[in-house]
């Protein structure tokens, strides 16, 4: 009995009129926790009752405290008939369970009803007295802190970053129970809300246990998702990164943590270790996943699985152990060692066999300085699964989780599900891991997982960025010796993360390598794709921009396996096209790297949608991208050629315009400056690893184009024409606007304090007649573009401003409906200060540049001569590999009737085609003016504006919400706990509520209100890392009905505005990292 | 491709003042879009008509949701659904309760009932204000009226407290409520030259001096609930006004009064002879107005009478405003020198207010 929960009901206000006769309400409140219920007195005839109740006390275990929500129901007393419910409030008391967070929850909560929405407010006070419990076998994990933020929270310091934690819980969906036919929609919705609340609590507790086993004290980058699988159930799953965090105020010195008992780490993970075979063994494992980790156009092995999904388990395990020796390196060993001990401790849960391997994954997207050593590129895996027949009798009885039984009775018969789902994800993660290994990386950062479900087909996706990390942060210090060298040479320049982690001679895929334009010492790829945020010390030229690839593919309606197969067959083409689009658009912008890449594939009844969003930047370390060259197929047709040259001109103009728009003025390098030793202009920037697809995309050698790195688009049919057109239709944001999907906009540092977080939802209905892929693409493209245009228009009063963390989600609720949901935050900035913080970089690199001058003159030449010939061929290897991995599948899939080999054949022949075309040409440089002069006047401008008063809107009671991990112009002083809320809203009077738009508008506004109320009750004034993870909207206009489910989460915080005299807001994020930074250097 | 659903929800509710005005003015979404297009916003921002349409719809939806709260402004302050900075909240409320001069002139002094509401169609046609806007304004008047009609204490304060209006707007509403309650006739042709401001000015003076609350009776008396009201004229006072009749009924008193006034003003008025010739008529008019105020019907005609009996005669003789002022001052003051007159306080309470009103009403 380790806890006492105390609740006091103070008052209500703005209650609805429940008694028509008197226009008043006789309200009372039921307070329920677990199975205990208390009631207040009835407060007669008032819409603003003052209950002022006694303290209701619940004596409960901490396990329940973690799992159960406090449920407060407001009712209208009725003497003669049943009492009418006015609405409910669910309060997650988790934030009260760890000492550093909130101590009391007190405030006005909106009273919510799933049918009527918010109906008045209630003032509640909640406290928890926790007793110390020394029972080591306890099932609770009170005290583990959770953060949605995908970086180390601002007022903490990471002592150790332990690694990946994941868990999932499955239950039957109350909406699909038989009883749902006889109960009211309200009862059904409430059952669902309550169940999900319970499940999330349980999930969080279980993850917490794992963290404790790893000896961590926090989970950072905690991402919890729901899969509404319909008939087959409800899955709640979560991933996160276990860490040991230290509060910054505490004076403890930074020590490389030695508290975890790791040994035997002598291998060096990133040197020549991965022999060429390693990576080929990766893709060829008989997984059911599709993979395109490196360059999307190449390796895909994917397939749909039939119902017996466990087929692949056995082979996978075997494979894993076989390659274990090489794959892990020290990092792996560490983790494994640790987990094994964890597994032993965890003896109480028999369902966890050793099959569960540890994954060196990190859900973080931003890291302490020095943590990220190299970035290898995006790795991703997808798998198509069928949701039927998930009950595998073999597993019944193995499941020993007694907690699940407590949830609901029917849990017992589907208790095998977590195993099935676990296996699915394990498979995908395994795949990801092997891709990372193939890239010479031992870890995956910026890792995330998602699903898309349509009827019984489910696409599981995972993606991340392969990376080499500095083990100093992960565990023990034994690794340092071997790392030091590398770190030292990379760190000062801030370009180290761009350098390739794999062996140049055994490249896992065809890449076009050059010497780093910044340090001139290491090789870098020509393009870098990543899923993480831009490292703070990256040297970037100009500004970044949001780049999206959008794609639709029609698919025949089909059932079950046929459907899964059809989807599997489409996926590689979609991936390929999405990446081609991204690459084209990136080149069109004159940029060379993508950050925050998120590719979402959504499955519908009759189509697949792909939407990739990323933030393009120009990294100074990477070579200047070449242009795009258009080639026609019929060279003898005069008018056609004219047309082509017209298009070419348009493209060239666009590139030039974009360079100007985004202020991309890279220094001229290479041949152009030979002979005139102009000091290398400043470069700021950094990088990640790229994906370099340059060589394998549709490219042609165009000799006429001289030194320019040509990226050739061949127009041989109307489709291609369409593609080119669509490239040019993306309109840049109006002046004064920038947008990105990363935390902050590269190239803008001077944020002012005005922020506006918003959610926008659009649903369009396609005319079902003669839908073609082209028409579909156009519709989808227009939808996204118009949505962006609308946002720019709406937020025009904030100019100059930047839309940050723009997060698009696509879903296909019905046959002809496409729904796009966007959440982002608009932040104003001060134009005049733009270059302030980058200036030091400039100076530094200038200095460097002068010393490096000699090298500088020579490298380009060398590069030039050897990079050319070496590249046409590597692609072949990769393609062969991927082909072989494809053909490997059928063997593992004997049980299914799908003919995968034919797919593989098709794939490989198609790849051959590309291979023939693939050529890499040396990049030329684009002439631009040197920007150094520009920097100084602007730098001075900063001072003038430094004292500009911050926006004076700090009114009492205002709660800011932002998807970012920080608040511009303010300092986060305390994290109060995680906010994770799930709401259902339903209506049977859709027209009366203003139609679908009115209904959803009101609901989203209500959700915001409830989030704000909870944060305010915790004593907070902002939510950071806010995310709307789900917005499932269903309508039935004929019945005048609609239903919507929304799931949001974030971190409740207290922030304090920086006074005007303090450091300019723009420096805030960097300033906070400072302690970490210095700590890091000491140990190096 | 048709848009089924299209919404934008900000953590801070976006309020576009221009769209708010269009909404308040009762324009439909399509009219509002057309008007916005005409304002040149597309050229300024490079947006498309579709964007404008979607933006306008969004704002309209937001306003529609806010409207319920605007009906009870304190709710807008305490509600949690829309996060709106206080300055914006004030703007929303102030604009929502603002009204058109043309409209208020049509409704001022009329009973705020269903019957009047039916006439809104005609008012809309006549004034060119959309029916929707007319309805909003009418409903605002009625809502404010209902809330404060039975309340004790200062009318302006009550309105400010319950509707959070600016001082100025609260005063205007006080006038509207006062006029509606006393049903003063303002629609007659001869009154058309008067603006709402003129009436509001008079209403304020009357509220200050002629209502029960005006006497400054201590509100400590719990029984005085009904009495301490700003909206009703002090019945006792009106009853007492009959006593003033002696000023014109008693010929000696009238003559004496006239001579006092004439002596004092001789040489100071450009229209002295006209004044002298008209004195008795004017005085009779003013005193008779007072004496008649016991009847509700005559109370309603107060402004008609004042214009007929005083403003028009003076105007036809082309009195300059300054002369009117001198005359009224002297006319009021001289009464104190009349030995036979025993109600100087009553006279001051009456004439003080009336003088202010008449000066305000005296213009073209």
Res A598: pLDDT: 92
To the nearest whole angstrom, how far is the Cα of B121 from the nearest Cα of chain A? 25
Beta strands in A605-717 (DSSP E): 607-619, 628-632, 711-715
Contact A817 B4 (CB under 8 A): yes
A window 929-968, beta carbon within 8 A of B: 953, 955, 958-961
Res A141: pLDDT: 67
Res A993: pLDDT: 86
pLDDT range class, residue A417, cuts 50, 70, 90: low
The SS3 assignment for A871 reads coil
Nearest Cβ partner for A997 among B5, B81, B85: B5
Q: How far apart are CA A810 and CA A1032, in angstroms?
A: 11
The SS3 assignment for A1018 reads coil
Beta strands in A664-780 (DSSP E): 711-715, 737-739, 751-765
Nearest residue of chain A to residue B47 (CA atoms): A793
Q: Using one digit for the tens of pLDDT, what is the confidence trace for A13-57?
A: 989 998 888 888 899 999 999 889 999 999 988 899 999 999 999
Q: How far apart are CA A683 and CA A686, in angstroms?
A: 9
The structure tokens listed for A253 are 């010195």
Nearest Cβ partner for A997 among B7, B14, B55: B7
Q: How far apart are CA A625 and CA A521, in angstroms?
A: 20
First to last CA, chain A: 47
H or E stretch at A1057: strand A1041-1057
Res A494: pLDDT: 67
Judged against a pLDDT cut of 80, whether residue A185 lies above it is answered with yes
Q: Across residues A230-234, what is the average pLDDT?
A: 80
Dihedral of the alpha carbons of A325, A329, A335, A337, in degrees to the nearest 10: 50
Any A CB within 8 A of B49 CB: no
Asked if residues A550 and A610 have their Cβ atoms less than 8 Å apart, the reply is: yes
Of A279-283, A418-422, A818-822, B230-234, the least confident: A279-283
Res A332: pLDDT: 35
Q: Across residues A449-466, what is the average pLDDT?
A: 89
Res A109: pLDDT: 94
Res A234: pLDDT: 85
DSSP secondary-structure letter at A535?
P
Res A28: pLDDT: 93
Picking from A600, A610, A603, the residue whose alpha carbon sits closest to that of residue A567 is A603
Contact B3 A764 (CB under 8 A): yes
Judged against a pLDDT cut of 50, whether residue A119 lies above it is answered with yes
Res B228: pLDDT: 55
The mean predicted confidence, pLDDT, of chain A is: 69
Sheet-wide strand order for A3-13: A36-39, A27-33, A70-76, A84-91, A105-113, A117-130, A3-13, A56-60
Q: Is the dihedral of CA A383, A385, A391, A393 positive or negative?
A: negative
Q: Using one digit for the tens of pLDDT, what is the confidence trace for A1013-1036?
A: 999 999 999 999 999 988 999 888
Asked if residues A86 and A75 have their Cβ atoms less than 8 Å apart, the reply is: yes
Nearest Cβ partner for B14 among A794, A1001, A1008: A794
Res A539: pLDDT: 83
Residue-wise DSSP of A329-388 = HHHHHHHHHHHHHHHHHGGG-TT--TTS----B---SS--TTSEEEEEEEEEEEEEEE-S
Q: Across residues A846-866, what is the average pLDDT?
A: 35
Res B92: pLDDT: 94
Q: How far apart are CA A449 and CA A1029, in angstroms?
A: 12
Judged against a pLDDT cut of 80, whether residue A671 lies above it is answered with no
Res A311: pLDDT: 29
Q: Using one digit for the tens of pLDDT, what is the confidence trace for A129-167?
A: 877 655 545 566 677 889 999 888 888 888 888 889 998
Question: How much of chain A, in percent, has pLDDT values that exceed 90?
Answer: 20
Sheet-wide strand order for A593-603: A528-529, A593-603, A607-619, A540-554
Res A668: pLDDT: 59
Interface test with A, best of B3, B6, B88 (most A CBs within 10 A): B6
DSSP secondary-structure letter at A732?
P
pLDDT range class, residue A862, cuts 50, 70, 90: very low
Q: How far apart are CA A489 and CA A498, in angstroms?
A: 13
Q: Provide φ and ψ at A218, rounded to 5°.
A: -160, 155
Of A360-364, A824-828, A902-906, B121-125, the least confident: A902-906
Asked if residues A657 and A590 have their Cβ atoms less than 8 Å apart, the reply is: no
Res A904: pLDDT: 38
Contact A761 B5 (CB under 8 A): yes
Asked if residues A368 and A1073 have their Cβ atoms less than 8 Å apart, the reply is: yes
Query: From residue A107, how far is each of A121, A308, A1020, B80 by CA, in Å?
Result: 10, 51, 11, 12
Of A568-582, A654-668, A985-999, B151-165, the least confident: A654-668
Nearest Cβ partner for A779 among B1, B8, B78: B1
Q: Across residues A646-663, what is the average pLDDT?
A: 83
To the nearest whole angstrom, how far is the Cα of A994 from the nearest Cα of chain B? 8
Q: Across residues A553-579, what is the average pLDDT?
A: 86
Res A632: pLDDT: 65
Q: How far apart are CA A645 and CA A649, in angstroms?
A: 6
- For the purposes of burial, counting CB atoms within 10 Å of the CB of A408, is it exposed (0-12), middle (13-18) or buried (19 or more)? middle
Q: How far apart are CA B120 and CA B99, in angstroms?
A: 14
Judged against a pLDDT cut of 80, whether residue A502 lies above it is answered with no
Q: Which position has the higher pLDDT, A188 or A340? A: A188
Judged against a pLDDT cut of 80, whether residue A511 lies above it is answered with no
Q: Which position has the higher pLDDT, A404 or A715? A: A715
Nearest residue of chain A to residue B1 (CA atoms): A766
Q: Which position has the higher pLDDT, A488 or A557? A: A557
Q: Across residues A315-336, what is the average pLDDT?
A: 33
Beta bridge partners of B310: none
Any A CB within 8 A of B76 CB: no
Q: Using one digit for the tens of pLDDT, what is the confidence trace for A690-704?
A: 333 333 332 332 333
Tokens 């369902």 correspond to: A351
Judged against a pLDDT cut of 60, whether residue A892 lies above it is answered with no
Judged against a pLDDT cut of 80, whether residue A244 lies above it is answered with yes
Asked if residues A364 and A220 have their Cβ atoms less than 8 Å apart, the reply is: yes
Beta bridge partners of B143: none
Contact A1008 B47 (CB under 8 A): no
Judged against a pLDDT cut of 60, whether residue A807 lies above it is answered with yes
Chain B residues close to A759, C-beta within 8 Å: 8-9
Picking from A840, A1072, A1049, the residue whose alpha carbon sits closest to that of residue A967 is A1072
Nearest residue of chain B to residue A769 (CA atoms): B1
Chain A residues close to B78, C-beta within 8 Å: 13-14
Interface test with B, best of A12, A14, A816, A1012 (most B CBs within 10 A): A14
Contacts of the segment A907-913: beta carbons below 8 A, 24+ positions apart: A907/A300, A907/A572, A907/A882, A907/A883, A908/A879, A908/A880, A908/A882, A908/A883, A911/A297, A911/A298, A911/A879, A911/A882, A911/A883, A912/A879
The SS3 assignment for A973 reads strand
To the nearest whole angstrom, how far is the Cα of A986 from the nearest Cα of chain B? 16
Q: Across residues A877-882, what is the average pLDDT?
A: 39
Res A110: pLDDT: 94
Chain A residues close to B84, C-beta within 8 Å: none
To the nearest whole angstrom, how far is the Cα of B73 from the nearest Cα of chain A? 13
pLDDT range class, residue A339, cuts 50, 70, 90: very low
The structure tokens listed for A113 are 């009803």
Chain B residues close to A757, C-beta within 8 Å: 10-11
Q: Using one digit for the tens of pLDDT, what is the confidence trace for A961-981?
A: 999 998 888 888 889 989 999
Judged against a pLDDT cut of 60, whether residue A127 lies above it is answered with yes
Contact B65 A1005 (CB under 8 A): yes
Cβ neighbours for A350, distance < 8 A, ≥ 6 positions apart:
A398, A400
Q: What is the ipTM of this complex?
A: 0.88
pLDDT range class, residue A940, cuts 50, 70, 90: very low
Q: Which position has the higher pLDDT, A210 or A957? A: A210
Q: Provide φ and ψ at A847, rounded to 5°.
A: -60, -50
Q: Which position has the higher pLDDT, B353 or A295? A: B353
Res A245: pLDDT: 87
Judged against a pLDDT cut of 80, whether residue A243 lies above it is answered with yes
The SS3 assignment for A113 reads strand
Nearest Cβ partner for A1009 among B10, B54, B81: B81
Any A CB within 8 A of B40 CB: no
Q: How far apart are CA A64 and CA A767, in angstroms?
A: 51
Half-sphere exposure of A745 (CA within 13 A, CB side): 32
Of A404-408, A797-801, B247-251, the least confident: A404-408
Q: How far apart are CA B253 and CA B266, in angstroms?
A: 20
Cβ neighbours for A772, distance < 8 A, ≥ 6 positions apart:
A554
Judged against a pLDDT cut of 70, whether residue A101 lies above it is answered with no
Contact A763 B6 (CB under 8 A): yes
Reported residue count of chain B is 364
The structure tokens listed for B91 are 């703007």
Res A682: pLDDT: 32
Any A CB within 8 A of B7 CB: yes
Which residues of chain B, if any, have pLDDT below 70?
1-2, 213-228
Interhelix angle B167-182/B196-210, rounded to 10 degrees, is 80
The structure tokens listed for A75 are 């009712």
Asked if residues A846 and A488 have their Cβ atoms less than 8 Å apart, the reply is: no
């Amino acid at each position: 009995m380790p806890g006492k929960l105390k609740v006091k009901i103070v008052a209500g206000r703005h209650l609805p009129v429940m008694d028509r006769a008197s226009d008043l309400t006789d309200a009372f409140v039921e307070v329920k926790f677990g199975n205990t219920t208390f009631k207040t007195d009835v407060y007669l005839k008032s819409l603003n009752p003052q209950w002022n109740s006694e303290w209701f006390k619940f004596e409960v275990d901490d396990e329940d405290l973690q799992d159960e929500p406090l449920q407060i129901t407001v009712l209208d007393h009725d003497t003669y008939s049943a009492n009418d419910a006015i609405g409910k409030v669910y309060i997650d008391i988790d934030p009260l369970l760890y000492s550093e967070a909130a101590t009391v929850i007190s405030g006005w909560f909106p009273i919510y009803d799933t049918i009527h929405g918010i109906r008045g407010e209630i003032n509640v006070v909640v406290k928890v007295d926790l007793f110390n419990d020394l029972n080591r076998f306890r099932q609770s994990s009170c005290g583990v802190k959770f953060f949605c933020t995908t970086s180390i929270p601002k007022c903490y310091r990471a002592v150790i970053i332990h690694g990946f934690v994941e868990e999932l819980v499955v239950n039957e969906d109350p909406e699909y129970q038989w009883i749902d036919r006889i109960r009211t929609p309200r009862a059904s919705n409430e059952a669902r809300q309550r169940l999900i609340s319970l499940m999330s609590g349980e999930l969080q507790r279980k993850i917490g246990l794992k963290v404790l086993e790893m000896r961590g004290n926090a989970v950072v980058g905690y991402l919890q998702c729901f899969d509404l699988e319909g008939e087959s159930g409800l899955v709640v799953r979560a991933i996160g990164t276990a860490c040991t965090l230290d509060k910054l105020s505490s004076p403890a010195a930074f020590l490389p943590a030695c508290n975890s008992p790791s040994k035997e780490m002598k291998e060096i993970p990133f040197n020549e270790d991965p022999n060429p075979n390693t990576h080929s063994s990766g893709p060829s494992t008989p997984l059911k996943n599709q993979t395109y980790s490196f360059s999307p156009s190449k390796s895909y092995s994917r397939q749909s699985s039939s119902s017996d999904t466990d087929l692949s388990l056995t082979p996978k395990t075997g494979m894993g152990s076989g390659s274990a020796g090489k794959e892990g390196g020290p990092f792996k060993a560490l983790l494994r060692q640790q987990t094994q001990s964890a597994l032993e401790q965890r003896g109480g849960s028999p369902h966890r066999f050793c099959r569960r391997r540890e994954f060196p994954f990190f859900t973080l997207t931003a890291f302490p300085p020095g943590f990220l050593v190299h970035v290898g590129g995006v790795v991703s895996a997808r798998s198509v699964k069928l949701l039927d027949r998930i009950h595998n009798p073999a597993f019944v009885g193995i499941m020993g989780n007694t907690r699940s039984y407590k949830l609901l009775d029917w849990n017992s018969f589907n208790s095998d599900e977590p195993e099935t789902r676990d296996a699915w994800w394990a498979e995908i993660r395994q795949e990801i891991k092997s891709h990372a290994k193939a890239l010479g990386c031992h870890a995956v950062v910026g890792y995330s997982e998602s699903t898309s479900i349509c009827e019984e087909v489910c696409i599981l996706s995972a993606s991340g960025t392969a990376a080499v990390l500095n083990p100093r942060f992960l565990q023990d210090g034994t690794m340092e010796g071997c790392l030091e060298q590398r770190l030292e040479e990379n760190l000062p320049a801030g370009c180290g993360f761009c350098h390739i982690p794999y062996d140049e001679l055994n490249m896992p895929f065809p890449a076009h390598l050059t010497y780093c334009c910044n340090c001139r010492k290491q090789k870098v790829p020509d393009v870098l794709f990543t899923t993480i945020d831009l490292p703070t010390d990256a040297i970037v030229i100009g500004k970044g921009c949001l780049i999206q690839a959008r794609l639709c593919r029609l698919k025949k309606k089909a059932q079950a396996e046929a459907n899964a197969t059809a989807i599997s067959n489409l996926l590689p083409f979609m991936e390929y096209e999405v990446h081609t689009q991204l690459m084209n658009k990136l080149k069109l912008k004159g940029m060379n790297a993508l950050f925050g890449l998120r590719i979402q594939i959504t499955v519908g009844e009759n189509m697949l949608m792909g939407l990739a969003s990323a933030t393009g930047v120009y990294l100074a370390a990477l070579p200047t991208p070449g242009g795009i060259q258009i080639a026609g197929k019929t060279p003898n047709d005069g008018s056609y050629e004219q047309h082509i040259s017209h298009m070419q001109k348009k493209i060239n103009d666009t590139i030039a315009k974009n360079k100007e728009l985004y202020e991309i003025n890279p220094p001229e390098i290479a041949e152009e400056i030979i002979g005139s030793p102009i000091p290398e202009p400043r470069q700021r920037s950094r990088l990640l690893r790229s994906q370099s697809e340059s060589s394998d995309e549709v490219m042609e050698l165009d000799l006429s184009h001289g030194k320019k790195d040509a990226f050739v688009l061949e127009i041989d049919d109307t489709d291609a024409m369409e593609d080119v057109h669509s490239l040019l239709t993306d309109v840049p944001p109006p002046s004064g606007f920038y947008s990105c999907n990363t935390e902050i906009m590269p190239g803008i540092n001077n944020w002012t304090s005005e922020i506006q977080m918003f959610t926008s939802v659009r649903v369009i209905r396609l005319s079902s007649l003669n839908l073609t892929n082209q028409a579909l693409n156009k519709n989808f493209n227009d939808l996204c573009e118009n949505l962006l245009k609308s946002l720019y228009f709406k937020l025009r009063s904030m100019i100059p401003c930047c839309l940050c963390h723009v997060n698009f989600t696509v879903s296909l609720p019905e046959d002809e409906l496409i729904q796009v949901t966007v959440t982002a935050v608009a932040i104003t900035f001060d134009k005049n200060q733009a270059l302030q913080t980058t200036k030091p970089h400039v100076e530094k690199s200038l200095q460097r540049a002068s010393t490096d001058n000699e090298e500088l003159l020579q490298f380009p030449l060398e590069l030039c001569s050897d990079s050319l010939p070496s590249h046409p061929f590597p692609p072949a290897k990769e393609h062969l590999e991927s082909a072989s991995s494809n053909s490997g599948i059928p063997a593992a899939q004997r049980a299914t009737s799908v003919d995968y080999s034919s797919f593989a054949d098709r794939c490989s022949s198609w790849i051959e085609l590309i291979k023939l075309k693939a050529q890499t040409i040396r990049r030329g440089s684009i002439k631009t003016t040197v920007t150094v002069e520009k920097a100084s006047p602007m730098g001075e401008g900063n001072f003038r504006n430094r004292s500009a008063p911050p926006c004076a809107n700090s009114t009492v009671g205002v709660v800011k919400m932002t998807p970012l991990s920080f608040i511009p112009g303010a300092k986060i002083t305390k994290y109060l706990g995680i906010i994770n809320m799930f709401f259902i809203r339903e209506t049977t009077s859709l027209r009366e509520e203003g139609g679908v738009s009115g209904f959803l508008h009101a609901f989203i506004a209500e959700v915001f209100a409830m989030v704000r109320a909870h944060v305010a009750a915790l004593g907070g004034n902002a939510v950071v890392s806010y995310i709307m993870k789900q917005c499932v909207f269903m309508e039935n206009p004929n019945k005048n009905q609609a239903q919507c489910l929304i799931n949001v989460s974030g971190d409740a915080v207290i922030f304090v505005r920086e006074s005007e005299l303090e450091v300019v807001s723009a420096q805030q994020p960097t300033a906070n990292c400072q302690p970490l930074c210095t700590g890091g250097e000491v140990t190096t | 491709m048709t848009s089924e659903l299209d919404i934008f929800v900000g953590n801070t509710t976006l309020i576009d003042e221009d769209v708010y005005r269009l909404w308040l003015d009762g324009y439909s979404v399509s009219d509002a879009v057309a008007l916005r297009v005409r304002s040149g916003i597309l050229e300024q921002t490079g947006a498309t008509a579709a964007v404008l349409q979607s933006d306008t719809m969004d704002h309209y939806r937001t306003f529609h949701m806010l409207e319920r709260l605007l009906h009870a402004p304190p709710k807008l302050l305490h509600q949690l659904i829309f996060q709106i900075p206080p300055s914006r909240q004030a703007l929303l409320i102030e604009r929502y309760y603002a009204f058109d001069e043309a409209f208020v002139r049509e409704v001022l002094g009329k009973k705020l009932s269903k019957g009047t509401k039916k006439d809104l169609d005609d008012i809309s046609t006549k004034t060119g204000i959309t029916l929707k806007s007319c309805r909003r304004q009418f409903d605002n008047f009625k809502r404010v009226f209902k809330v404060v009609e039975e309340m004790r204490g200062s009318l302006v304060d009550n309105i400010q407290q319950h509707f959070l209006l600016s001082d100025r707007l609260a005063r205007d509403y006080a006038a509207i409520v006062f006029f509606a309650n006393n049903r003063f006739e303002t629609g007659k042709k001869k009154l058309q030259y008067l603006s709402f401001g003129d009436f509001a000015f008079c209403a304020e003076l009357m509220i200050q001096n002629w209502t029960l609350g005006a006497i400054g009776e201590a509100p400590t008396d719990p029984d005085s609930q009904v009495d301490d009201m700003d909206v009703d004229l002090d019945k006792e006072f009106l009853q007492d006004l009959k006593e003033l009749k002696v000023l014109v009924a008693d010929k000696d008193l009238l003559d004496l009064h006239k001579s006092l006034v004439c002596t004092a003003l001789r040489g100071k008025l450009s229209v002295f002879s006209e004044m002298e010739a008209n004195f008795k008529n004017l005085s009779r008019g003013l005193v008779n107005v007072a004496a008649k105020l016991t009847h509700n019907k005559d109370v309603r005609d107060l402004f008609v009478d004042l214009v007929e009996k005083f403003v028009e005669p003076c105007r036809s003789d082309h009195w300059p405003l300054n002369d009117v002022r001198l005359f009224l001052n002297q006319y009021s003051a001289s009464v104190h020198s009349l030995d036979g007159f025993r109600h100087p306080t009553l006279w001051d309470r009456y004439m003080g207010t009336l003088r202010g009103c008449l000066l305000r009403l005296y213009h073209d």
